[in-house]
C-alpha cells in the first residue's frame, strides 16, 4: 500500500473534488449519450460495450505512441511481478462494467431514482470504510463528524435530486436495489485501486487504459450472455456523436486517478456525484430529456456541493 505521510490541507481536497466534479459532468453527458445509443439499439449492454470498446482502443493507441506511457506500463508490470501491487488490484474496470450491466438489469424494475439512490448510498458507505483503512493511495482518514455528515448529506441530496423523477416499482421488486448498492460498493473500490495503479505506473494514461480494457473484456462476456437471451440488437445508428461515450469516460477516469491521491475516495466520490448532478441540470436546461428540468434536481445539485465542502473540512 502506498500513501503520503501527511494529509493534504482542506483547500487541496476541495480543489481535487472540483477536478472530480469535472469528471462527473463528463459522466452526466456520457450517460445521456449512452442512454440514447442504448435506446436506438434497444440494448443498453451493447451500447456500454461500444463505449468501453472505443475508449479502450483510443487508450491502447495512446499508450503505444507515447514514450512516457509505455514506460509507465513497464513500471506497472514490474510492480505486479515484484508484489508491490496485486494483480487483482488492476481489475477496477470490472466494477464499472458491473454497474452498467446492473443498470440494464434493474432500472426497468426499480426506476432510475431508486437505482441512483442505492448506487450512491453503497458508494458512500464503502468510501468511508476504504478511506478509514487507507486502501487507496491517500493516507488513512478516520470517520470524523464532518466526513460522516458530508456523506449523509450527499445521500439526502441524491434523494432530493431524483425525487422529481420517481417511477413506480413492481410489487416486491425493491430487493433488486441490492444489485446497484453492491455496484456502488464496487465503484468506491474501483476509485481506490485505480489510484494505486496510477501511483505504481507514475502515469495517468496507464491506469485509464487498464480500467477501460478490463471493463471492455467484462462487457464482452456480458454482451454474449445478453445476445444469447435477447437476440441481436437494432443496427447501430449513423450519428457520430452517439459514439463519444468512450472519450467522455476517459475524461472521467483521468480526473479520478489524478485527484484521488489528494482527496481520498469519499471526497472524490462526492465531487463526482456533484458534477453528475450539476451536469444533469445543465443538460436538462439546454437539451431537455423526458420530464425536462426539475426544481428538485437543482436543489439536489446544490446540496451535493455543500456535502463536498463539509466532508473536506479538517477534523
This model's pTM is above 0.85? yes
DSSP tally for the chain: helices H, then strands E = 10, 0
3-state secondary structure of 217: helix
pLDDT at 7: 67
Q: What angle do CA 140, 19, 275 make, to 5 degrees?
A: 105
Q: For residue 91, give the C-alpha cell.
A: 481489475
pLDDT at 223: 94
Mind listing the pLDDT tens digit of every residue in the chain (315 residues)? 444 445 677 778 888 999 999 999 999 899 889 888 988 998 989 999 999 999 999 999 999 999 999 999 999 999 999 999 999 999 999 999 998 888 877 877 777 777 888 889 999 999 999 999 999 898 888 998 989 999 999 999 988 887 766 554 544 566 888 999 999 999 999 999 999 999 999 999 999 999 999 999 999 999 999 999 989 999 999 999 999 999 999 999 999 999 998 899 999 999 999 999 898 888 888 877 655 667 888 888 889 889 988 888 755
| Whole-number Å distance between alpha carbons of 189 and 122 | 11
pLDDT at 289: 65
Longest dimension (CA), the chain: 56
What's the pLDDT tens digit per position in 12-24? 888 899 999 999 9
Using left for φ > 0, alpha for ψ between -120 and 50, and beta otherwise, residue 134 falls in: left
Amino acid at each position: 500500500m502506498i500513501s503520503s505521510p501527511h494529509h493534504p490541507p482542506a483547500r487541496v481536497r476541495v480543489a481535487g473534488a472540483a477536478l472530480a466534479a469535472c469528471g462527473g459532468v463528463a459522466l452526466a453527458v456520457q450517460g445521456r449519450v449512452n442512454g440514447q445509443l442504448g435506446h436506438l439499439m434497444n440494448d443498453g449492454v451493447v451500447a456500454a460495450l461500444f463505449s468501453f470498446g472505443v475508449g479502450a482502443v483510443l487508450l491502447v493507441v495512446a499508450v503505444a505512441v507515447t514514450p512516457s506511457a509505455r514506460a509507465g506500463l513497464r513500471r506497472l508490470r514490474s510492480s505486479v511481478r515484484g508484489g508491490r501491487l496485486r494483480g487483482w488490484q488492476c481489475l477496477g474496470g470490472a466494477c464499472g462494467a458491473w454497474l452498467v450491466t446492473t443498470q440494464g438489469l434493474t432500472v426497468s424494475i426499480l426506476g432510475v431514482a431508486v437505482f441512483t439512490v442505492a448506487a450512491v448510498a453503497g458508494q458512500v458507505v464503502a468510501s468511508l470504510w476504504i478511506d478509514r483503512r487507507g486502501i487507496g493511495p491517500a493516507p488513512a482518514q478516520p470517520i470524523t463528524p464532518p466526513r460522516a455528515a458530508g456523506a449523509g448529506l450527499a445521500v439526502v441530496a441524491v434523494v432530493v435530486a431524483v425525487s422529481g423523477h420517481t417511477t413506480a416499482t413492481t410489487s416486491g421488486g425493491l430487493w433488486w436495489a441490492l444489485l446497484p448498492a453492491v455496484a456502488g460498493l464496487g465503484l468506491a473500490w474501483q476509485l481506490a485501486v485505480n489510484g494505486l495503479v496510477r501511483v505504481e505506473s507514475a502515469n495517468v494514461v496507464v491506469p485509464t487504459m487498464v480500467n477501460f480494457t478490463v471493463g471492455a473484456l467484462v462487457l464482452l462476456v456480458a454482451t454474449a450472455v445478453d445476445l444469447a437471451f435477447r437476440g441481436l440488437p437494432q443496427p447501430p445508428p449513423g450519428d457520430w456523436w452517439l459514439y463519444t461515450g468512450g472519450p467522455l469516460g476517459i475524461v472521467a477516469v483521468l480526473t479520478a486517478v489524478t485527484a484521488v491521491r489528494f482527496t481520498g475516495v469519499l471526497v472524490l466520490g462526492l465531487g463526482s456525484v456533484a458534477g453528475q448532478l450539476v451536469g444533469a441540470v445543465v443538460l436538462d436546461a439546454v437539451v431537455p430529456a423526458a420530464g425536462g428540468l426539475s426544481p428538485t434536481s437543482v436543489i439536489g445539485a446544490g446540496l451535493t456541493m455543500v456535502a463536498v465542502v463539509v466532508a473536506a473540512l479538517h477534523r
